[in-house]
Structure 1
Amino acid sequence: MKQIDIQTIDDHQVKTYVFDKVKKPIAVLHIISSNLNVIDFYKNFFQVLNNNQIIVVCNSIQNSLNIRNQAKIFNDNWKINLEDLKEVNHFIKKQYKLPIFMFSYSIACVFSKAYSIKYSETINGLILSNYLELNKKIIIKQIFKLIFIKLFFKNKNQYSFYQYSFIQKFLNKFNQNNNFLVNKLNRYLDILEDDFISKKFDIISLLDVYKTMYFNLKRKNLNLIKKHLPILIIVNDNNYQEEKKYLKSSYKLLKQLLKKDYYVSLNYIDDLKNKMFTNSNLILENQIITFINKHLIHI
């Protein structure tokens, strides 16, 4: 593993991790992580990819958000965050001269989708795992709410998506039912590990996420993705109500892309969540590797 600090257009540095001990590399997978602890989170997955002759270059979107979280309330940070990803892909192209596939999970999908809208010509494939999209009203409401808090309150607490509604729902159910099942309790604790529920952001950083989401929602922007870009959507397929948000968002995106004649497919996997890469997940790994190998033929 090598760590490379890539210079950004606003004179910051993006920590980028490279796993390139591959004898005959066939492609590079650029992983956009939402986790700061990138190496521990993905290390088993990195090894599997390297064993299949795929170089891994990984950076955390949290890193891009954090280095700019002291910016003024009205800014274009979300655009600069996408430029960070462009700089990483420029490094990959210059260093390896191999096809580039982008992979992201959960919150990071917000940024990789926006990146594919603006710079799809720089990549050869896109993989979105547990993609989630909020509706326009919610996004606008949250943007104004965060701006109001930032301007008029001294509270410096971090915020998360669904932080209050989810925890309140859990506590209400717990208090109302003395026979609250242990497996149900464990399930709620599992859900708390989900990026969109538990991950907290400074106000400026969370605003960047919502602004990027809003950019993604504009239908005309979807047309900017190059038509021949292969896209794979991987989504959870189980009966838990919480994960149906991902399923609904993934179906919606799939329909939008198919309607515009994009080359897109959707794969299912059971119990896809934030812990999916901590242990070997053969189905998930095979889906990603198969997707890369399949589309290398046409490059």
Structure 2
Amino acid sequence: LTFACGSLYVKFIRTCCAIEERIPLPPEEARTAVRYAYTVLAWQVFVSSWSLFFNTGGGLDLENMDTFNDTSPFLQSLIFLVKLYGILQATIWAMIPRLWMAYFARTIRCYLRAIGRDIESVLNSPEAPPERIIRRMDIMRTNLERVKIASHLASNIVSSGFIVALAISVVSVSLAVHCSSAGTTLSPRIRIFYAGWAILQAVNLLWPVLAWQRIKTQVNKIRYIVQAVELPEGAPTSLSEHVLLLLQCMDSDDFKSSFGGFLTIEPSMVASVIGAIVAYIVLLRQTTQTLTSVGASQCRP
């Protein structure tokens, strides 16, 4: 599975390199993409360090705590499962979908911003002959199609893994909120871990989604630039036709569909996620209280 995922990522890297040869990023955009990649990597290293510290004996010495033996067997097994998942989450392969999706979303946005600046400079140059403007718009339309193909490829590579990671993160947030609440019999040190873990997982949930959502905003900005241009009087009909063709390539719904529609922030999706978390927490609380009361009744003389 690791080699299969690695081959897909290598394929996407080659595609991005091919796009970069045809759409050279300005120096400031290239620095922005690299800086964002380091930011995402630093965040994932911090999440891994948090998980490894609390799950490898540095913070969650569960067996040596007095309160651990007082908890129900269900909660003990739940803690061990979350502990095992935390160790797996701290490994590189568990974080790849989020990291790559956020980074490539930002990189594609840098490409779109560079194309938008080029389009604005071409359309706002009144001294340029119409033939040169038409030729430049054809190049920009081709570049937009290349970026769209790259976004489709990125979606096919990382969307499935991101959806799985998204579902696991929802469960992780539910477990973390439940275990960090005051209603459990866990020690303050364990509650601190789960409170921080809930925050980290919430950020991991929203970061890639927001990164992809901003691509649609960037596409709408480019579309607004093209719509706001005023063609000079006596401009040939072919120039207006090429402007219309350029507008057709910048339909934000095309970029939205390339992400499967799943990564678009919709109120119904947010309500479903919140409802699932609340229902899961209520179920955990009821189950834990039932097991605790049954265990206490069995221990009575």
Same fold (TM over 0.5): no
Choose between structure 1 and 2: higher strand proportion. 1
Tell me the TM-score normalized by structure 1. 0.29
Q: RCO greater where, 1 or 2, for CA within 8 Å and sep 6 or more?
A: 2
Q: Report which of the two structures shows the higher radius of gyration computed on alpha carbons.
A: 2
Q: Compare the two structures and name the one with the higher helix fraction.
A: 2
